[in-house]
Amino acid sequence: MTTAPERTGDLYPTRGAEEVLVERKDPVVWSAPGTRGPFTDEDLAGFDRDGFLAVEQLITPDEVAAYHAELERLVNDPGMRADERSIVEPRSQEIRSIFEVHRISEVFARLAADPRVVGRARQILGSDVYVHQSRINVKPGFGASGFYWHSDFETWHAEDGLPNMRTVSVSIALTKNHDTNGGLMIMPGSHRTFLGCAGETPKDNYKKSLQMQDAGTPSDEALTGLASAYGIKLFTGEAGSATWFDCNAMHGSGDNITPFPRSNVFIVFNSVENAAVEPFAAPVRRPEFIGARDFTPVK
């Protein structure tokens, strides 16, 4: 366990009396051109420009089957359902997400350490990385709720204490992503502008926000402005495809009212040089299963 560093100045103020727009002060791609890794320089230039990059097949069909079977095992485990790391749907009371899956499951731990996965994270962030958060998301058909528009960094900065935008996420599809079953939507280029949200963070906000976000939610006016400036990209693809996206990209997903389930494994890598300090805009830290305090590099 590595001790958290001293807190420094706040580059990205949020959760104040009013919304604020702040120009990004950090690089998007931290490694130098020509750095060896799974991504090409062209790939990284696209990621720098758009704030995301889709990979058509990150894992094979056989691997998809193995990871999906592990997801099903966890979701149907009564002990897991009672675990605080499991989040349930407000309406159906079915499991919506299970956090810290790289610690719960050896299968998902191997995925987080797979060179095809962690190698890309190191390439984008230009350093060794640790897992700030991991989870499986289960979005079954016929009414599973979506995730409202948000910037992950706004929450991770405000409530977990990540100082800088040196964090990247990967969403790996374990079922087919149709254009109708609640897929990931991102505003291309929105990662260049930080939207500091209005309103104080309630104590233990995570207990509510993981089911239905409130604090840290952008206003309709701000979202309209960003969407008008950047547009919206909807991601589709086969099981085994993946989307890498920057921590400050404005994104969300809709409800799934189709018969077709949408499940994915979601892993957040943070640079070891950007370790969490005390929260910038919350009274207490979130639990470690949501925002890690173990900064040991993935090997």
Chain segment 119-158, per-residue pLDDT in tens: 999 999 999 999 999 999 999 888 888 999 999 999 999 9
In a domain, 63, yes or no: yes
- From the centroid of its chain, how far is CA 80? 22
Return the DSSP state at 158: I
What does the pLDDT look like over 152-170, one tens digit per residue?
Answer: 999 999 999 999 999 999 9
Which residues neighbour 34 within 8 Å (Cβ) at sequence distance 6 or greater?
Answer: 41
* pLDDT at residue 177 in the model: 95
**Sheet strands (E) in the chain:** 20-23, 52-55, 86-88, 95-99, 129-139, 147-151, 167-173, 184-186, 193-196, 233-234, 242-246, 250-253, 262-271
Nearest-angstrom CA–CA distance, 277 and 14: 16
CA torsion, points 170, 171, 174, 180, in degrees to nearest 10?
Answer: -150
In a domain, 213, yes or no: yes
Return the DSSP state at 47: H
* pLDDT at residue 88 in the model: 87
Which residues neighbour 45 within 8 Å (Cβ) at sequence distance 6 or greater?
Answer: none
Q: Which residue has the tokens 């079915």?
A: 94
The HSE-up count of residue 232 (CA atoms within 13 Å, CB side) is: 16
In a domain, 20, yes or no: no
Nearest-angstrom CA–CA distance, 155 and 98: 18
CATH number of 182's domain: 2.60.120.620
Nearest-angstrom CA–CA distance, 284 and 203: 7
In a domain, 18, yes or no: no
In a domain, 276, yes or no: no
* The amino acid at 271: S
| Residue closest to 249 by CA, chosen among 182, 171, 169 | 169
- Report the domain count for the chain: 1
In a domain, 88, yes or no: yes
In a domain, 243, yes or no: yes
Strands ordered across the beta sheet of 250-253: 147-151, 250-253, 184-186, 233-234
- For residue 3, pLDDT beyond 90: no
* pLDDT at residue 179 in the model: 95
What is the domain extent for residue 144? 33-271
When pLDDT is averaged across residues 98-127 and rounded to a whole number, the result is 98
Model confidence, pTM: 0.94
When pLDDT is averaged across residues 181-193 and rounded to a whole number, the result is 97
* pLDDT at residue 204 in the model: 77
Spatial contact of 210 and 87, defined as CB atoms under 8 Å apart: yes
Residue, of 94 and 138, whose pLDDT is higher: 138
CA torsion, points 242, 243, 247, 248, in degrees to nearest 10?
Answer: -170
When pLDDT is averaged across residues 205-215 and rounded to a whole number, the result is 66
Mean pLDDT taken over the chain: 94
Q: Percent of the chain beyond pLDDT 70? A: 95
In a domain, 289, yes or no: no
Residue, of 218 and 209, whose pLDDT is higher: 218
When pLDDT is averaged across residues 13-37 and rounded to a whole number, the result is 97
Rounded to 5 degrees, what are φ and ψ at 27?
A: -60, 165
* The amino acid at 2: T
Residue, of 107 and 89, whose pLDDT is higher: 107
Spatial contact of 19 and 195, defined as CB atoms under 8 Å apart: yes
Rg (CA), the chain: 18
* pLDDT at residue 269 in the model: 99
Confidence bin at 91 (pLDDT 50/70/90)? confident
When pLDDT is averaged across residues 191-207 and rounded to a whole number, the result is 91
* pLDDT at residue 7 in the model: 60
* pLDDT at residue 213 in the model: 60
Rounded to 5 degrees, what are φ and ψ at 88?
A: -110, 155
Nearest-angstrom CA–CA distance, 281 and 128: 27
Which residues neighbour 99 within 8 Å (Cβ) at sequence distance 6 or greater?
Answer: 85, 86, 87, 133, 134, 135, 289, 290
